[in-house]
A and B are shown apart, each in its own frame.
Chain A
Amino acid sequence: MSHIFVSYSRKNLTFVTQLVTDLQQADLPVWFDQISIQPGENWEAAIEKGLKEAIAVAVVVSPDSMASEYVRKEINFAQESDQLILPVLYRPAQLFLNLQTIQWVDLSSEAVYAANLQKLIAVLRREPGLLENDAVPTGEAVEVDDTRKLSPTILSNYLHIGAMIAGQTKSQQLWRRLAGSIGTASQMNVGGQALALSRLTPPTLSRLVSLLGATPSIQILHLICRTENDMCFVEDDQGRETPLQIDELARILQNSSVKLLVVQGQLSVAGIQKLMQQSLVQAVITTTTAASDVMSKLFEEHFYAALAAGKAVQVAYQTALNTLGPDDKDHFKLTAKHDGVMLDYPPIEKRPIQPIIDPGLPPMRNVPINPDFVGQGQPLLELSEKLSSDDTRQVMIYGLGGMGKSWLASEFVARYGWRFSDGIVWIQVSEQTRAEDIFNQLRLLLGLPLNSALTHLENTLRQRRVLIVLDQANEWGNSTELTELAQFVSRLEPLGGTRVMLTAWGPTVGLAEISGSRELTLAEMLPVEAEELVRQLIIDYDVAGEFKSELVMRQLIEKTAYTPWFIKEGVRLTRLEGLEVALEDLDALSADTMLLFERYVGMQHQKLAEPTQVFLRQLQGLPDSFDRRLVQAIDSQSREHLRQLIQHQLLRREDKLYTIPPTVRVYLRQRYPLSEAEQDTIDQQVIQYWLGGAK
């Protein structure tokens, strides 16, 4: 039976027992060692079995659990097994790094327990396979895009926060943290003042000036940036850091309605006082760089929740501090102009119910989120410049497998997507992709009827700024469709601002010859960038202990041929098997970069058990991504196979979709093609599943 596994420290047994009882009362199947292990059963084997069969793992976060080796192992297993991991906050603690990117549920105080427990239950109910009758997906992301234009009047009914995140390597992650905090803060105050959060993109000085000047509803400015000597570093249009002196910030704030400034960074007392003298700002909160993500999130949630409840800034600050451990309080400092600083609230009858989160980006269709882009700064700049040129129709990013083409493309979208104000369409190309699929996505993006003529779409695009991303264009199997698309692209007017960006191993016949095409070839990383990537990965995978000298780090980089994917894989293997084994594994591969990936796939394939190899072969029948339930129709043991394939990097998972990497597909096609009879059998199983007869 599939269930939720509870990973926790025995020291928190009282809390955990309560949690388990509450989950069970919501009819959720829970595996809890205290009740699920039968007398006389081998404890460790029972836990292993319980963990293996779990659909989701709820990790009870506390300083005790975060110090527990058992909990660490359970989380690692869940991660490798592709299980849903849900951190449940009991007591604030420094999270394991592989937990830090995951949205948690805060059950740390009585005030939030009941409301957030319902959220946890809702998330778990959505997980396929947990309940017999899978619930309808709910989820109500209150995100807007700029075509939906928020009326200033509507915003004036909110407690409106403007957020700017500049010069940060993980800006998307930081944004998601803040957006998540605002969502949680709103839920903590049902019936209170609703919050609105607008991200200022691009994070440039001119954007700060124009948005604050034009948006009188923004009373709170939340800045996440590097600070030094009373300077906040924002960005220029190309994404390079540029200093914003405190005098300049004061001048900008003078022409705004901002009353409260929250800076994730440090400013001097004199600087803060200058700000408060020269603007309407009445309170400033600063945060030390040592404040962890966990602390910041906890602080933000409770601080903004208290403000939404109508509390004075000082009271909200104190409320938020009370949720932190005694040693953590010093990281957050409040300076106020006077006692009882209050923000302005609209009349009760005008207050809306739901929060609004505006990511400051144009509408996006199917764009993947890239959480951990590091290095490749130069190619990113080059890509940005090539796409900006007036005579460019498309930019083709070429490179061997693992060079980070899609990674670069998605980072470009996250950082420079604002340039394409009418939106971004991301097409994951498969051999079955049709040109019409792309045209329809564009029609809907631009609000055109689906049956409108192609010429109408082309004419509209000439006046709009849209980015069309064709990821893995080499996958395209149908030349007629490719020709149709190529003709369409060649008719785009570069001056209109619409661009195509494609990623491929090499030139895609038909598309590559179009005039106005530019190329960007990704080769191996520069040593300095590779080192930057490894350093970040060492933190992410928490393997600092293995990399005791610079020399070891360089050794790993050399064995990965400066290829981003292999660098990541090397550090991942270090986490799993230790550095020595990881280096041996990498050693076994050819020094020939051209064959690196192919050999790697072969090596991983050999490590699979035979039934899993057969299963992988069968997956060739599906040219595009698939979910867990579809492949259950092909093989009842698919769950275990999927786990193995992900562990060996022969399958990728994004959200609920599994994808065979192109290199793996090529490897299988060349060495283990399916016969027609085998293919027919798979097709029949799949059709039966689609028609509702899945096992």
Chain B
Amino acid sequence: MGITINPSHPTALTREQQATLNNMRAVLGRQLRPTSKTDPAMVAELIIQNAVLMRENGLATELLDYLQRAREKLDAEKPLHTRLSVEIAVTLDVIDGRQDEASELFQNVLTWYQTHPNALDEARARSAYGRFLINRSQLQVALTQFQQALDLLKDQPFEAAIVRGEMGRVLVGQGKFGEAVPQFEKAYTVLRGDDRQVRLMNDFAAALVEVGESDRAEKLLIEGIEIATQQGLWLLRANLRRQIAYIYHLRAEKSSDAASAQPYLDEAVRLLNQAVAEMLPLQNTLDLAVVYHDLGRIEAQQRHFNEAEAHLRLSIELFQRLGNLRNEAVAEITLGTLVVLKNGDIAAGNEHLHRALQLANKVGDQFTLHQAAETLSRLHQLQVTRAKAQSQEIRRQVIDQLSFSRARLSEYSLSEAALALEHMITELEAARG
């Protein structure tokens, strides 16, 4: 399932938002003129206030223009000038090919604060820089920035809690769940009542599950669902439900036998179905596709093969639509395994795994590529075992299929898996006599 760092769900502007944006454009068009007599600080604050909305809606280039023009009208020694610079750096980060400029600007801003101390503004700038570093996968350096921001926010518990939430997410991303939990705990208490509290519940719960506190995680998620319902955060609510399903799935996996696992799996499926129903009216195809995949995977474990296949195929269709090859590859692996379990149809299973290999190779996802290769090897092993007891003609056909797969695996530099297939071919040829 994985944890998304810094999740962002862009949505299309509603008619109301578009109208506000257009009215704001007209106002800014007039009030950013050199001759305008309106207080430039007021105009700058307006742009900063709308910066997130514009960036999230793909209007970074336009925003950059406003920010730069507003900055020109301000005294370079004023804190607001530097705040605009931070916004400019954040905006440059999302414009293709301008990340180096963003990095340089962040450095300049942080240097400026050395001679112009302002704890709150500097902490915010460091947090923004931390997020910039996360996007560059520099998690450790990002953590340092967040820690420095925290040091500056000793008298600002609320702001500090927001930073702790960010730190928790980075630590989860690094697999340091034990360290993430206390950060989330502190943030969680302070942010009570704010929508940011419920937004960090998903990651907090994931960390708790990983450190073995799944009961506490479940309680937290149930509380989160209630808050999300009150605040109208529908997508988040559905994702929190998905997270509870994940806990039930883990409980099933830890059960001693199939019979005791069954109620846990049933509950997981019920929760995921509910998450699907909640996600259907929302505009986030990616989350829906992920839930369909999870649902299919658990239903396959329950041996509800028809349901599982239907959900996995839907998941693949949605990933295809999104052009999300990485997840499509993962879903193909699951489907490949399923069709073998369902019908014993190894040829169909192989087809899905070859597709997974192709997709994973295309996006350079080594982890998924190896996973697909491993599953393919296992299917071929099953095929070889069966073929040994069958006619020469069938053995010949299986050898052909193995040779084909071996060639593909070699092509993708999966030499270990290719070698395993080589051994299988030898084994089957020997059996042919």
Contact = CB atoms under 8 A, between A and B. Distances in A.
- Do these two chains really belong together in a complex? yes
B211 interface: no
A626 B17 CA distance: 10
B3 interface: no
B318 A149 contact: yes
Interface string B53-76: 000111111100000000000000
Nearest to B304: A153
B22 A352 contact: no
Contacts of B431: none
A138 B12 contact: no
A537 B196 CA distance: 50
B18 A137 contact: no
A436 B58 contact: yes
B31 A437 contact: no
B394 interface: no
B277 A679 contact: no
Interface string A139-162: 111111001111111100100000
Interface in A143-198: 143-144, 147-154, 157, 194
Tell which of B13, B21, B58, B59 has the most Cβ of chain A within 10 Å: B58
Interface in B273-308: 273-274, 276-278, 280-281, 283, 285, 288, 292, 306-307
Contacts of B234: 140
A688 interface: yes
Contact of A142 (B42, B277, B311, B321): B277
Contacts of B280: 142-144, 148, 150, 356
A251 to B, nearest CB: 28
Interface string A320-354: 00000000000000000000000000000110111
Contact of B292 (A147, A151, A433, A684): A151
Interface string B308-323: 0011001001100111
Contact of A447 (B30, B45, B266, B322): B322
Interface in A357-396: 365-366
B148 interface: no
Contacts, number: 167
B6 interface: no
A623 B29 CA distance: 12
Contact of A436 (B22, B37, B59): B59
B38 A683 contact: yes
A147 B18 contact: no
A137 B232 contact: yes
Given A147-B285, A354-B278, A624-B18, A690 B273 contact: no
Interface residues of B, number: 65
A142 B281 contact: yes
A679 B31 CA distance: 10
A26 B159 CA distance: 34
Describe B's contact surface by its main secondary structure.
helix
**Of A138, A148, A433, A626, most B-chain CB atoms within 10 Å:** A148
A445 B10 CA distance: 11
Interface in B341-374: none
Interface string B262-280: 0000100010011011101
Contact of B285 (A148, A441, A657): A148
B258 interface: no
A432 B13 CA distance: 15
Contacts of A154: 273, 276-277
A153 B281 contact: no
A440 interface: yes
A291 B36 CA distance: 64
Contacts of A137: 232
Nearest to A460: B323
Contact of B270 (A349, A432, A434, A691): A349
B77 interface: no
Interface in A655-695: 656-657, 679-680, 683-684, 686-688, 690-691
Contacts of B276: 151, 154
Contact of A621 (B22, B26, B314): B26
- Residue among B230, B277, B283 facing the most chain A CB atoms (10 A cut-off): B277
A432 B22 contact: yes
B332 to A, nearest CB: 18
Which of under 10, 10 to 19, 20 to 34, or 35 or more describes the interface residues of A? 35 or more
A157 to B, nearest CB: 7
Given A151-B311, A153-B307, A624-B19, A451 B58 contact: yes
A214 interface: no
B46 A690 contact: yes
A140 B10 contact: no
Contact of B46 (A149, A443, A624, A687): A687
Interface string A117-150: 0000000000000000000111111111001111
Interface string B21-34: 11111110111000
A311 B225 CA distance: 32
Contact of A622 (B12, B23, B306): B23
B26 A353 contact: no
Contacts of B135: none
A137 B95 CA distance: 33
A450 interface: yes
B58 A627 contact: no
Contacts of A622: 23, 26
A151 B310 contact: yes
B94 interface: yes
A433 B22 CA distance: 7
A432 B15 contact: no
A539 interface: no
Nearest to B35: A676
B15 A450 contact: no
B277 A356 contact: yes
B49 interface: yes
A430 interface: yes
A625 interface: yes
Contacts of B20: 624
A690 B20 CA distance: 10
Contacts of B311: 151, 153
B14 interface: yes
A97 interface: no
A140 B281 contact: yes
Given A444-B10, A451-B94, A354 B46 contact: no
A153 B37 CA distance: 64
B16 interface: yes
A415 to B, nearest CB: 21
B255 interface: no
Contacts of B12: 365-366, 440-441, 444-445
B410 interface: no
B15 A657 contact: yes
A626 B49 CA distance: 18
A448 interface: yes
Contact of A434 (B46, B62, B266, B288): B62
Given A440-B57, A451-B96, 6 more contacts: A148-B288, A349-B270, A445-B12, A451-B94, A657-B16, A691-B45
Task: Please give me the 9 A-B residue pairs with the lowest Cβ-Cβ distance, nearest first.
Answer: A450-B58, A624-B22, A432-B22, A625-B19, A624-B19, A153-B307, A432-B25, A440-B58, A447-B322
Interface of B: 10-16, 18-27, 29-31, 36-38, 42-43, 45-46, 49, 56-62, 94-96, 230-232, 234, 266, 270, 273-274, 276-278, 280-281, 283, 285, 288, 292, 306-307, 310-311, 314, 317-318, 321-323
26 contacts: A140-B281, A142-B281, A147-B318, A149-B314, A151-B276, A151-B311, A151-B314, A153-B307, A157-B273, A194-B277, A349-B270, A352-B274, A366-B18, A432-B21, A432-B23, A432-B26, A436-B58, A440-B58, A447-B285, A622-B26, A624-B22, A624-B26, A625-B19, A680-B37, A687-B27, A687-B46
Interface of A: 136-144, 147-154, 157, 194, 349-350, 352-354, 356, 365-366, 428, 430-434, 436-437, 439-441, 443-448, 450-451, 621-627, 630, 656-657, 679-680, 683-684, 686-688, 690-691
